[in-house]
Structure 1
Amino acid sequence: MDTWYWKCWTTLMLLIGTFHVVQSSSATFKISAVGQNLIGNDENGDIPAYSLQLPIDQQVTLVAQGIVMPRGKEPQASEPDVGTWLFDDSVFQLLPHDRNQFNATQISITLKPVRSVAIETRVRFVGNILGYDRKYDVLINTSN
């Protein structure tokens, strides 16, 4: 009798665990640039990449917004667990910006190129939402 009870209990727990996985959601980030058009979204690699043309001395505010996608429902904005923007401070200057224009679902940074470089410069967002680690690159081509 004990063996039968144990088998039933184990089967029930496996079914509950499988149902939970099937009903679980996914999460990601939506990357945007305020007042600028990001070009493309190359998702062929491990890290999705966007491109942006930006003249020297023109600032850009990059925004990563947390998005959850519950199964069977529309995607919706959600507060990320953690996130940060990484950039080359020899190419970009970090500028203050009005954080009140963004909500808790958004992680933003305002940058201004201070010099031109011959190749695209990578600005990377690294974040975690609902346990999903995500990385995104914005490749910025600075010009005079």
Structure 2
Amino acid sequence: MEGSHPKDVFPRLQYLEFRLCTQLTSISWVVNLPCIRELSLDCCSSVKQLIQIDELKSSGVEVSQYSFPSLKIIWLRTMELERISDPIISFPALEFLNVIGSILKELPFKYSNLPRKLKWIQGDEEWWNNIEMEDADKSSLQPFFKKR
């Protein structure tokens, strides 16, 4: 598949799951999948950041395309992520973020750029208490948090 463009190979792909991919370090290329609605990662221990801007720039993706227009659900299970993405990437359709048995130090948004359709962020209370964000953002996002 080298030299192929993801949107040409998977033009209508809606669900993508990575499980036990210990050599995987990033999935930046998924930003090129316009129909992706649900993204799930489970036990991918080498991934520290899902989407990396430097990789996108080197692949020729336009800055205006740093968005997931259809992505509604993100599942992160047993991961040790520092972050999902840089703040320039937007998730306008995101409804559910599930962080199960994982470490995620930063959310991909703040209250000021909150996805309009967000319904809840689910995770362990210990994870929520240790997430790195300003107190104002954390207290504003608290109503969206659902303890697992």
Band the TM-score falls in, shorter-chain normalisation: under 0.3
Greater helix fraction, Structure 1 or Structure 2: 2
Instruction: State TM-score, norm by structure 2.
Output: 0.22
Instruction: State TM-score, norm by structure 1.
Output: 0.23
State which structure, 1 or 2, has the greater radius of gyration over its C-alpha atoms. Answer: 1
